[in-house]
């Protein structure tokens, strides 16, 4: 059983990922979301960062689809998405599900390519993703495991080795 707050968070994520607004999530929605994020920060579509984010997002969809027991070419409705996310979280598999997309998002946030992501750069990407500055700050704190106010890109292996 998931809390109402967690359910609301997962439903919000569903809405953000449903890029075409049809009430279902497909692999294309996740690919479109990757494209929207890369465009929002001015990253070229064919760059290694953009390709890694696309691969990470597709991985996330494929993992959620598997948890919902649907074909990776199928689609998830809101209920299936929430249940798959809740199952991944409860079983300890959430890192495997979202890890590659998180790593690629962190790499995308490294605007100057120095291997370090500041909270400001992180917030820019999260704002483009549809999150508030407060949500971005909370996510940054959760990822900043040593509390030094920065994320090291190398600490987050990116999908596809990019």
For residue 64, pLDDT over 60 is answered with yes
pLDDT at residue number 9: 87
Residues 97 and 60: beta-carbon distance below 8 Å: yes
Please report, rounded to a whole number, the percentage of residues in the chain having pLDDT higher than 70: 96
| Run of H or E including 27 | helix 27-40
* CA distances, 59 to each of 104, 130, 158 (Å): 11, 20, 11
pLDDT (tens digit per residue) in 65-96:
999 999 888 999 999 999 999 999 999 999 89
Choose the CATH number for 4-161 among 2.60.40.420, 1.10.3720.10, 1.10.238.10, 3.40.640.10.
1.10.238.10
Annotated domain spans of the chain: 4-161
Q: pTM of the full predicted structure? A: 0.85
| Mean predicted confidence (pLDDT) in 40-66 | 95
pLDDT at residue number 151: 87
């Amino acid at each position: 059983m998931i809390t109402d707050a967690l359910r609301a968070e997962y439903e919000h994520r569903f809405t953000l990922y449903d890029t075409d607004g049809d009430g279902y999530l497909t692999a294309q929605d996740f690919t479109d979301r990757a494209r929207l994020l890369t465009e929002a920060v001015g990253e070229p579509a064919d760059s290694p960062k953009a390709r890694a984010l696309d691969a990470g997002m597709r991985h996330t969809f494929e993992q959620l689809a598997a948890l919902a027991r649907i074909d990776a070419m199928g689609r998830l409705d809101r209920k299936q998405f929430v249940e798959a996310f809740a199952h991944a979280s409860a079983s300890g598999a959430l890192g495997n599900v979202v890890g590659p997309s998180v790593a690629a998002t962190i790499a995308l946030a490294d605007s100057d390519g120095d291997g370090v992501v500041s909270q400001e750069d992180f917030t820019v990407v999260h704002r483009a993703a549809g999150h508030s500055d407060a949500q971005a700050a909370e996510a940054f704190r959760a990822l900043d495991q040593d509390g030094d106010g920065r994320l090291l890109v190398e600490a987050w292996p990116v999908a596809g080795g990019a």
